[in-house]
Structure 1
């Protein structure tokens, strides 16, 4: 008998709009498999989930780190999504220490929706028998993933950083004051 997909969404309070969007998106999913959705701070439900989704904003907040640790310990498949923008020093360290998660970078909420819906579709296709996905539904999922790929906007050119707003560009050897000497590390 097919089982429902037990999904755990781990996110801080700053990610409530993203969680709400994903909940609405699951209601509009192209096939009906039945979803059981648990969320932060129900740490005990991590061990019972089939798929762990981590939504990361600018900073790490409790108990997201504990939930991720528990998901890793219980060997859950993990979808990690983070938003573009500045991250706090603690947030940067969290991303670096968990670089092996194969994070998906999202520019905005529609990009997050596309990424998570694509991951969920592929998860269901990989576990079709467990969740009772028929051949017709599998084709519908493949078409859904293709439509999500088509609606993705072209990547924006990288945001200008550096001396674009003004600066000084030095030419070594030409900009040294008379009598100055260059100190180099001779390691």
Structure 2
């Protein structure tokens, strides 16, 4: 089994465990194994890929978590410009130096998040998002509706395409007439 480990960084007030739970619920393929970690089994070309979302509380993330991860998923509430600002601060103050060699994908979450809130903030502008994408050197930006399985799978398909390198298989050796002739018996 091949593994793709994704470290989730997020706006601290957005609730990353809620986010991971919504990702898990949107696809029937996820199972919860620890409070902050979700795994998915996905069949790609007949092989089984194991995705792990390392949804560690931001304050507990260490350098070894970046080393362990194939890629970093940075999430924020797209309907709230303050969410993007908090994520930018978190990135600048804590994670920019740790994350230098990681593949980064930026993900704005839309939909239900603000529907029941009393206080509504302005949406982040496309330019603000593009500026942050450039600053983090993210390879992609996704705007994801958490109710859409297709959009969520697009994110994981992108991770798969960017990070997955199959392990080389050992060539099976067979005894041919030529190889038998070269054998030496002592």
Name the SS for the 1:14 alignment partner. coil
- Deviation >4 Å, runs of 4+: 92-95
* 2:49 maps to 1:33: yes
Q: Which residue of 2 aligns with 1:8?
A: 7
CA-CA distance at 1:34 after TM superposition: 2.5
Counterpart of 2:106 (choices 73, 80, 103) is: 80
36-45 vs 59-68, which deviates more?
59-68
Bigger fraction of residues in helix: 1
CA-CA distance at 1:109 after TM superposition: 1.1
CA-CA distance at 1:55 after TM superposition: 1.0
* Larger CA Rg, structure 1 vs 2: 1
C-alpha contact (below 8 Å) 1:52/1:71 kept by paired residues: no
CA-CA distance at 1:50 after TM superposition: 0.5
Q: Which residue of 1 aligns with 2:19?
A: 18
Total equivalences in the alignment: 127
C-alpha contact (below 8 Å) 2:6/2:52 kept by paired residues: yes
TM-score of the pair, normalised by structure 2: 0.50
C-alpha contact (below 8 Å) 2:108/2:143 kept by paired residues: yes
Bigger fraction of residues in strand: 2
Q: Which residue of 2 aligns with 1:154?
A: none
Distance 1:120 1:88, change over 3 A: closer
Alignment partners' CA distance in 2, 1:80 and 1:52: 8
Measured against aligned partners, the alpha-carbon deviations of 1:31-71 in whole angstroms (never above 9, x if no partner) come to: 24233332231321123211111111121336741565246
Measured against aligned partners, the alpha-carbon deviations of 1:144-170 in whole angstroms (never above 9, x if no partner) come to: xxxxxxxxxxxxxxxxxxxxxxxxxxx
* 2:159 maps to 1:123: yes
TM-score of the pair, normalised by structure 1: 0.50
Name the SS for the 2:102 alignment partner. coil
